[in-house]
Amino acid sequence: MIWLLRDFDLLSVLIRGVALSFEVLTLGGIAFLLIAGLRANASEPVRRGCWRGIRWAATGLFLAEIASVGIDTAILMGGSALHFADVVAAPYFIAGTIAALATLAVVTCAAFRGRIATLLLGPLAILILLAAVAGSHAVSRMDHRVALVALTAAHHVGAAIWIGAIPFLLIGMRRSEDVGEAKRLLVKFSPMAIAGAGMLLLGGIGMGWVYLGVSADKSLSGLYGTAYGVMLLAKIYLLVLIVTLGAGNFFLVRRIETAPESLLRRLRRFGEAEIGLAFTAILAAASMTSQPPAVDLPADRATLAEIGARFRPEWPRLTSPSFAELAPSTPIQIAVKEMQFNGASAPSDSNDEAWSEYNHHWAGLIVLAAGIFALLSRLPRTRWARNWPLVFAGLAVFIVLRADPDCWPLGPRSFWASFYAPDVLQHRLYALLILAFAAFEWGVQTERLHSKSATMVFPVLCAVAGALLLTHNHSIGNVKEELLAEMSHTPIALLGATAGWSRWLELRLPGQKESRLASFVWPASLILVGLVLLNYRES
């Protein structure tokens, strides 16, 4: 109960991200089947695979919509005197219910298939899209509403027919009866993906122009001085990576008629990385929807001078105040009430800030060492450096011991009761993730583990951890200090995703030049994460 009281915001962002992901997959699957699959005269195994994928994606979207409406309803009723009868007339409830019902109809169509089911997919997809747009920032705007609704719809459609359709392309290529069928699917999908990328960019640029308030503020302070702008920059970075991979696939498709089968394998591997990075971007989009657009926050923006002062290089803090010098811990019952009613963070002083900086800087040293050893392990006669994952086990222990001084084992709050705080939950989740990938990757690097599943643990957990970090501590009030702290966390999240998916490509493209390039990208990403942590500042 304590955990639920405090973690609704985090849970809401995560479920929003899940709902957006399944929406993109459902609409992308329908688009691929209707536009590429049918036009390419796909074989029955390919069509059956697409239908099955659509059914699973739509089922996930249905559950996510139900959960999202339920959580929003609980938050609304818990924080007001409204009854359920009042809430059902709210726009979010109506839009979520329509989306759930339309999605349920898609699940039914996918179960029965056939001509009528195929004809119904288009109208149902439009209904799901309209419900999604109805729940966006665009509908609630007083200005530029029509234009923003159109741009939001274009953004969703573009994401679906490009990103959401890629998994179905991979399914189709895997199930194709011959190489010729796989090539036909690629030829039909390529213009669809280009159109989707164009719509995605058009919608994103247009919405960014309005939501950042560029027409009124040419300084672009909404981009660099607000949490909304920081998350938009994160999406842009991920989009650049995705477009780079997509461009590689585009040139492969141009040679597809004369391409050997090995090129098809490269294309599939690039597609896997595209999918992973794209869904990281979708999680960033979910975080953006939980915050007010920058144009609505003309005050409390960070200035370039403040950002420069916070991130100027300084020598790391390698000594820490003692636990007795920290601000006294608030009893758990009082802390829960304070968090429940005003969401305020516990007060801190210079000793608390020094404690936090010390933790970040030592964590940075550990990650920096791991990255350097991983890079050294690429050289001949440096086999000892392959033990670099063991360094991360020390980082996991360090996080559990030092990250939350009010809680077990240093503070008076017990292990289980301390989960009331989202930060504690996230810190412990990260400690578990780090310990898991350290154990598996050490086995892989030292050749104690040989299974493909074991080799994928490090890239998957690294990418997932990077994606989850994008949800870390977003302030609804856009408090400047929390924004400046977020500016340290966001690059780490992006570098984590980069490291995970570059390691994925290294493993999935053995012997290729792309694999050799990727083998240097992820150690470099770890080194950069270490440097970012070493320069972390609380004030």
Does residue 423 or residue 239 have the better pLDDT?
A: 239
What is the predicted pLDDT for the residue at 346?
A: 57
What is the spatial distance between Cα 474 and Cα 489, in angstroms, rounded to a whole number? Answer: 11
Q: What is the arithmetic mean of pLDDT over 62-83?
A: 85
What is the spatial distance between Cα 231 and Cα 470, in angstroms, rounded to a whole number? Answer: 8
| Residues near 512 by beta carbon (within 8 Å), at least 6 away in sequence | 266
**Position 352 pLDDT exceeds 90:** no
What is the predicted pLDDT for the residue at 472?
A: 62
Work out the number of other CB atoms within 10 angstroms of the CB of residue 419. 17
Q: Where residue 332 falls among pLDDT bands split at 50, 70, 90? A: low
Q: Where residue 216 falls among pLDDT bands split at 50, 70, 90? A: confident
Q: What is the arithmetic mean of pLDDT over 152-175?
A: 93
**Position 161 pLDDT exceeds 70:** yes
Evaluate the CA torsion angle 459, 316, 431, 478 in order and state its sign.
negative
Return the minimum-mean-pLDDT range out of 8-17, 218-227, 289-298, 396-405.
8-17
13 by Cβ neighbours in 10 Å (0-12 / 13-18 / 19+) ranks as buried
What is the spatial distance between Cα 191 and Cα 58, in angstroms, rounded to a whole number? Answer: 25
Three-class secondary structure of residue 461 per DSSP: helix
pLDDT digits (tens, 9 = 90+) for 481-528: 778 878 888 999 999 999 999 999 999 988 788 899 999 999 999 999
| Six-digit token string for 239 | 């989009």
Q: Look at the block and give the residue holding tokens 């109208």.
A: 123
| Six-digit token string for 116 | 């009528």
DSSP string, 471-535: TTT--TT--HHHHHHHHHHHHHHHHHHHHHHHHHHHHHSTTSHHHHHHHHHHHHHHHHHHHHHHT
Q: What is the arithmetic mean of pLDDT over 361-387?
A: 94
Does residue 255 or residue 530 have the better pLDDT?
A: 530
CA count, 13 A, side-chain hemisphere, 63: 8
What is the spatial distance between Cα 254 and Cα 264, in angstroms, rounded to a whole number? Answer: 12
Q: What is the arithmetic mean of pLDDT over 231-258?
A: 85
**Position 48 pLDDT exceeds 50:** yes
Q: Give the range with max mean pLDDT: 82-91, 296-305, 348-357, 392-401.
A: 392-401
pLDDT digits (tens, 9 = 90+) for 112-142: 998 999 999 999 999 999 999 998 888 888 8
**Position 1 pLDDT exceeds 70:** no
Does residue 214 or residue 458 have the better pLDDT?
A: 458
Q: What is the arithmetic mean of pLDDT over 52-61?
A: 96
| Six-digit token string for 374 | 């991983």
pLDDT > 70: what percent of the chain? 92
**CA angle 204–207–212, rounded 5-degree value:** 115
Rg (CA), the chain: 24
Phi and psi angles of residue 348, each rounded to the nearest 5 degrees, phi first: -135, 160
**Position 260 pLDDT exceeds 70:** no
Q: What is the arithmetic mean of pLDDT over 173-181?
A: 86
Evaluate the CA torsion angle 322, 340, 288, 295 in order and state its sign.
negative
Does residue 75 or residue 315 have the better pLDDT?
A: 315
Residues, the chain: 539
| Six-digit token string for 143 | 């200005």
What is the spatial distance between Cα 509 and Cα 505, in angstroms, rounded to a whole number? Answer: 6
What is the predicted pLDDT for the residue at 110?
A: 95
Strand partners, 476: none
What is the predicted pLDDT for the residue at 345?
A: 55
| Six-digit token string for 362 | 């030592």
pLDDT digits (tens, 9 = 90+) for 275-323: 999 989 988 888 888 788 888 888 888 899 999 998 999 999 999 988 8
Three-class secondary structure of residue 413 per DSSP: strand
